[in-house]
A and B are shown apart, each in its own frame.
Chain A
Amino acid sequence: DSIQQGISTFFEEL
């Protein structure tokens, strides 16, 4: 099974 990562794991909030 695979886990969906979140986009904010990769991009920081400004």
Chain B
Amino acid sequence: MLELRLVQGSLLKKVLEAIRELVTDANFDCSATGFSLQAMDSSHVALVALLLRSEGFEHYRCDRNLSMGMNLNNVSKMLRCAGNNDIITVKADDGSDTVTFMFESPNQDKIADFEMKLMDIDSEHLGIPDAEYQAIVRMPSSEFARICKDLSSIGDTVIISVTKEGVKFSTAGDIGTANIVCRQNKTVDKPEEATIIEMQEPVSLTFALRYMNSFTKATPLSETVTISLSSDLPVVVEYKIAEMGYIRFYLAPKIEE
């Protein structure tokens, strides 16, 4: 028996919107720790890891570990039927081939339940080792989204370089080139508007902008984004989900031929 009640149901709606462009089908894993997902995109270039900790739910019952295969477009269709202020409850019985999403309006005058068929998904689970990163950049998520969008109108790849001067995002295409430098800026009115760079040593890596733009679909989940970079490692683009967990996107770098 599984029963997860999330008062801030809009979080779940935002999570689905954040990942459904990147991943088509995925297993949602439920355990005592929380509600999690790990999935690769169809090209096996990027990986998304989601964790919503059990403590973040108003009610969390998970009698035994359960893995539920879902088509994310179908989940999204169901969750789009929930109001932004609705309380969402996810329910499943052991051994059942369906999951139920229950939506309650804030004043309890409307209750809806949507039952969705589960699917068998044979997915690889990758071990992600802890790594020390050469540079970690924290910046406003909206700023990062804007940079990725702007650069993708010029080129297909972005070179992210971190030096003591700041973080530079560069691209080149048929019509020309673009460079955007963000300097460390801690003296802002609100902490979420700061750009903070922790650099052990300079690093420069190249990534496909298509994936970066897809990661920025998670922007509504968090005001800040953390970008962790090391030579010869996938970049980690992390959006924290307030007091509940995170979405982390891993993207393999491009290398020179």
Instruction: Give A residues with C-beta under 8 Å from B.
Output: 1-14
Residue of A nearest to B207 (CB): A4
Q: Are A14 and B208 in contact (CB under 8 A)?
A: no
Closest 8 CB pairs of A and B: A11-B126, A2-B254, A5-B252, A14-B125, A14-B127, A7-B252, A7-B47, A6-B44
Instruction: Check B244 for interface membership: any CB of A closer than 8 A.
Output: no
Contact partners of A2 in chain B: CB under 8 A: 157, 206, 254-257
A7 to B254, CA, bound (A): 11
Q: Tell me, rounded to whole Å, the shortest Cβ–Cβ distance linking B221 to chain A.
A: 22
Instruction: Give B residues with C-beta under 8 Å from A.
Output: 40, 43-47, 124-129, 157, 206, 208, 233-234, 250-257
Q: Tell me, rounded to whole Å, the shortest Cβ–Cβ distance linking B113 to chain A.
A: 35
Q: Are A13 and B45 in contact (CB under 8 A)?
A: no
Residue of B nearest to A1 (CB): B257
Contact partners of B40 in chain A: CB under 8 A: 7-8
Q: Are B125 and A4 in contact (CB under 8 A)?
A: no
Contact partners of B46 in chain A: CB under 8 A: 7
Residue of B nearest to A9 (CB): B252
Q: Are A7 and B127 in contact (CB under 8 A)?
A: no
A11 to B132, CA, bound (A): 15
Q: Are A13 and B124 in contact (CB under 8 A)?
A: yes
Given contacts A5-B253, A13-B125, 11 further A-B contacts (CB under 8 A): A2-B255, A4-B252, A7-B40, A7-B234, A7-B250, A7-B251, A8-B126, A11-B47, A11-B128, A13-B124, A14-B125
Contact partners of B234 in chain A: CB under 8 A: 7, 10-11
Q: List 20 A-B contacts (CB under 8 A).
A: A1-B257, A3-B254, A3-B256, A4-B45, A4-B254, A5-B252, A5-B253, A7-B47, A7-B234, A7-B250, A7-B251, A7-B252, A8-B126, A9-B252, A10-B233, A11-B127, A11-B128, A11-B129, A14-B125, A14-B126
A11 to B40, CA, bound (A): 11
